[in-house]
Structure 1
Amino acid sequence: MKGGFSSVADVSAYLIDENPIPVSIITGFLGSGKTTLLARILKSSIFSDTAVIVNELGEMGLDHLLLEVADEQLALLPNGCLCCQLRNDLVDTMRTLLDRATRSEIPAFERLVIETTGIADPVPIIQTLMTDPLRFSRFQFAGLSTVIDGVLGAQTLENFSVSVKQTALADCLIVSKMDVAENYKSLQERIRNINSTAPIIFSSNGEMNPRLLPGFGDSKTTQFPVISGEVHKPAHGDGIFEVSRAMEGPMDFRVFEKWVNQLHERYRGNLLRLKGIIHFEGQEAPSVIQAVQHILYPLETVSFQSEGEIGRLVLIGQEISRHELVSSLEDLAQIAYH
């Protein structure tokens, strides 16, 4: 499988470097409040060591002006989406930032944030971060945060498929404009029908605790919430759905490796994302699992799970059989634990 595991059964061979720079993606549909949120975060001196890449539509960019960030901390990618023609430019910009910081031409930075356009599909962006050789050196994908308009969010999810995808793939969800939102409980139910596991944070005027976002807290990895037993959410808009299952104990890495390869060979691009936490046999700590379509990210060990917590896996599919994905999770558990 391209970008995935080889046949070697040593889990430690796939663990990433100890001190990478976390890369956080902030997405959300047009007008949802991404720039307002990011501007509030960057005003804090705590996050002054943050580099930002802003991607905008149109010939004249505005978001970088609204952010009021020093020029040396901001790399502007104008005139297009990161998920299409600017994918290579994203990598070039990341390399340039790193090289300039190494030469002390710009201040060193401890995290990188990518703000996408409102109509960006997150999948190709995450794939870029996972597949480029740069990820094996200094950068590490920390997670995807999606901003949802607290006033117009339900209407947006109903009318725009990319908004559904942004929500379904998120590791963290921020509902904005709570100071003017009225019927936010129905919106929350709609969001939960799309993504049942990512934490939901409510924000007014861009105010929130940024340490709750992937890549901004003490942990550089996405902290997946606990799943009790099996959770099989019904299918929602655009044929996107989510299934998940608890994994009871340590698992043979080779069993998992074979299962992942078979899963991607069968569903390919229709399996949008696989994520979770698995404790492999012979390892002292569990590992975070991250995969987008056919690309499986290197494992990273975690220490935030308390003793007694169980592992879990989440699958997000599109236009494939939900029943088959549910069965595949059951098959994995059956083989691994019996």
Structure 2
Amino acid sequence: MANIPLPVAVLTGFLGAGKTTLLNFLLKDPFLADAAVIINEFGEIGIDHLLVERSDENIVELASGCLCCTIRGDLIVTIHDLLARRQRGEVRPFNRILIETTGLADPAPVLHAVMSEPSLVAACRLEGVITVVDAVNGMATLDSHPEAVKQVAVADRIVLTKVDLLVGREGEEMLFAIIGRLRKLNPAARLLTTHRNEATAERLFTMGLFDPKTKTLDVQGWLSAEAYVTGEKRGRRHRQDDHGHRHVHDHDVSRHDEHIRSFSFTETNPVSPQGLELFMELLKSYHGSNLLRMKAIVRVSDDPSRPVVLHGVQHVFHPPVRLQAWPDADERTRFVFIVKDIERSMIEKLFRAFTDQIGGSEILTDKTLSLKR
């Protein structure tokens, strides 16, 4: 905990959702005064030039004090260049990185770069994903574009824009409908609006496992396992209701939403390192492309007092982190998933099959789980 890597957040959202407007607002917040921002140079709108103070090649210093640069080619190269300049003292120090994607982007490749590139893993850690959704056009966007559904599904924070444009009874119905849909797609993400400046930088960026200010862990908030249980119940009610009722505005949510599922499960007994590694390998092999997001804290049998934290996006997993102690009184293994076209029973049965120590999972592989100690 003494040398925590730089937190990296990803800001995404579909075309026209108000992502760049939100970014301009956030960059005026003192909370981000020591941030570095990476934007895609093919984005639909550039950073407000009124914020620009000076420019140095592709590095721009904003009036707020933030550094900003555009993606030139590979994202990994851009981050390396920014970190190297920081190390050499060529740019002012920064304490976090914010990456803005284009409106059509699948956020997964950006997350993969941060989570799997060996040279970046040592210097950076994924803080989370902020997804911007247009309250007025969001339903139609989710109906028409699977990319927009995925952006919501992988989010840690969802920002609802243009709420003030929803007026009257019809506007109220639209607001309830979009909120319900977002909750179904991603029950654990914290939902904020730009209305009355609710979506502040501090509320948005305090979403990671590690709190760099207090040097402590927030496993409960990061996992949000209880929200997945609520989401499963809501999903079952929704499916039952579909048999006999039409939903407001007749949006065809079955086009994309019905492929997305969220769930969680727990285990009291310690899990063997070998069984856990085999489970993770098979999970990636069989379901990697449809594993939108996975988080877990695991009680491992080689040292039950020091749990392991796991975090994956599709087939890419961040190197496991071994904690020095349990962060709270709940010492159970807890997994949470957001997936596409995978039933909960498939993953839970796979987990039970290869982590049941009575079943002899230790003899199925001689590999050991690589853990940060």
User: Which TM-score bucket, shorter chain as reference?
Assistant: 0.7 to 0.9
Query: How far does residue 107 in structure 1 lie from its aligned partner after superposition?
Result: 0.4
Alignment partner, residue 226 of structure 1: 225
Match for 2:68 among 71, 74, 88?
Answer: 74
Alignment partner, residue 253 of structure 1: 273
Alignment partner, residue 186 of structure 2: 195
Three-state SS of the structure 1 residue aligned to 2:142 is helix
% of aligned pairs identical? 30
Match for 1:325 among 347, 361, 364?
Answer: 347
Three-state SS of the structure 1 residue aligned to 2:356 is helix
Three-state SS of the structure 2 residue aligned to 1:251 is coil
Confirm or deny: 8 A CA contact 1:242 1:314 kept in the other structure.
yes
Alpha-carbon distance between aligned partners in 2 of 1:228 and 1:29, rounded to the nearest angstrom: 25
Alpha-carbon distance between aligned partners in 1 of 2:265 and 2:358, rounded to the nearest angstrom: 14
Alpha-carbon distance between aligned partners in 2 of 1:283 and 1:138, rounded to the nearest angstrom: 28
Change (3 A) 1:308 1:108: same
The two structures have a TM-score, normalised by structure 1, of 0.79
Alignment partner, residue 57 of structure 2: none
Alpha-carbon distance between aligned partners in 1 of 2:327 and 2:200, rounded to the nearest angstrom: 22
Query: How far does residue 31 in structure 1 lie from its aligned partner after superposition?
Result: 1.5
Alpha-carbon distance between aligned partners in 2 of 1:53 and 1:314, rounded to the nearest angstrom: 29
The two structures have a TM-score, normalised by structure 2, of 0.73
Alpha-carbon distance between aligned partners in 2 of 1:225 and 1:95, rounded to the nearest angstrom: 32
Alpha-carbon distance between aligned partners in 2 of 1:254 and 1:97, rounded to the nearest angstrom: 38
Alpha-carbon distance between aligned partners in 2 of 1:229 and 1:150, rounded to the nearest angstrom: 23
Change (3 A) 1:292 1:216: closer
Bigger shift: residues 159-168 or 321-330: 321-330
Confirm or deny: 8 A CA contact 1:227 1:246 kept in the other structure.
no
Change (3 A) 1:135 1:279: farther
Name stretches of at least 5 consecutive residues in structure 1 with no aligned partner.
1-15, 79-85
Three-state SS of the structure 2 residue aligned to 1:23 is strand
Kindly provide the amino acid, as one letter, of the partner of residue 211 in structure 2.
S
Alpha-carbon distance between aligned partners in 1 of 2:144 and 2:228, rounded to the nearest angstrom: 33
Alpha-carbon distance between aligned partners in 2 of 1:122 and 1:160, rounded to the nearest angstrom: 14
Three-state SS of the structure 2 residue aligned to 1:179 is helix
Q: Give yes or no for the alignment of 1:316 onto 2:338.
A: yes
Confirm or deny: 8 A CA contact 2:31 2:201 kept in the other structure.
no
Confirm or deny: 8 A CA contact 1:17 1:136 kept in the other structure.
no
Query: How far does residue 326 in structure 1 lie from its aligned partner after superposition?
Result: 4.8
Three-state SS of the structure 2 residue aligned to 1:227 is helix
Query: How far does residue 331 in structure 1 lie from its aligned partner after superposition?
Result: 4.7
Alpha-carbon distance between aligned partners in 2 of 1:267 and 1:203, rounded to the nearest angstrom: 36
Three-state SS of the structure 1 residue aligned to 2:70 is strand
- Please give the per-residue CA displacement for 1:164-209, whole angstroms capped at 9, x wherever unaligned: 0111111222222232233321111111221122222232265423
Three-state SS of the structure 1 residue aligned to 2:176 is helix
Confirm or deny: 8 A CA contact 1:33 1:206 kept in the other structure.
no
Query: How far does residue 246 in structure 1 lie from its aligned partner after superposition?
Result: 3.1
Alpha-carbon distance between aligned partners in 1 of 2:322 and 2:200, rounded to the nearest angstrom: 25
Kindly provide the amino acid, as one letter, of the partner of residue 39 in structure 1.
N
Three-state SS of the structure 1 residue aligned to 2:9 is strand
Residues 157-196 of structure 1: matches in 2 within 5 Å?
Answer: 157-181=142-166, 182=171, 183-196=174-187
Which structure is richer in relative contact order (CA contacts within 8 A, separation 6 or more)? Answer: 1
Change (3 A) 1:309 1:198: farther
Alignment partner, residue 271 of structure 1: 291
- Please give the per-residue CA displacement for 1:184-243, whole angstroms capped at 9, x wherever unaligned: 211111112211222222322654232233467771588121327956446964323233
- Please give the per-residue CA displacement for 1:73-124, whole angstroms capped at 9, x wherever unaligned: 111137xxxxxxx4xx211111111111112111010000001011100111
Change (3 A) 1:25 1:318: same
Three-state SS of the structure 2 residue aligned to 1:288 is strand
Change (3 A) 1:108 1:56: same
Q: More helix per residue: 1 or 2?
A: 2
Kindly provide the amino acid, as one letter, of the partner of residue 295 in structure 1.
V
Match for 1:129 among 114, 119, 122?
Answer: 114
Confirm or deny: 8 A CA contact 1:243 1:326 kept in the other structure.
no
Change (3 A) 1:250 1:185: farther
- Please give the per-residue CA displacement for 1:311-337, whole angstroms capped at 9, x wherever unaligned: 4212233344554235435556x7269
Q: Give yes or no for the alignment of 1:90 onto 2:90.
A: no
Give the aligned length: 311
Confirm or deny: 8 A CA contact 2:32 2:201 kept in the other structure.
no
Three-state SS of the structure 1 residue aligned to 2:262 is strand
Match for 1:298 among 319, 323, 327?
Answer: 319
Kindly provide the amino acid, as one letter, of the partner of residue 77 in structure 1.
I
Change (3 A) 1:255 1:213: farther
Three-state SS of the structure 1 residue aligned to 2:48 is helix
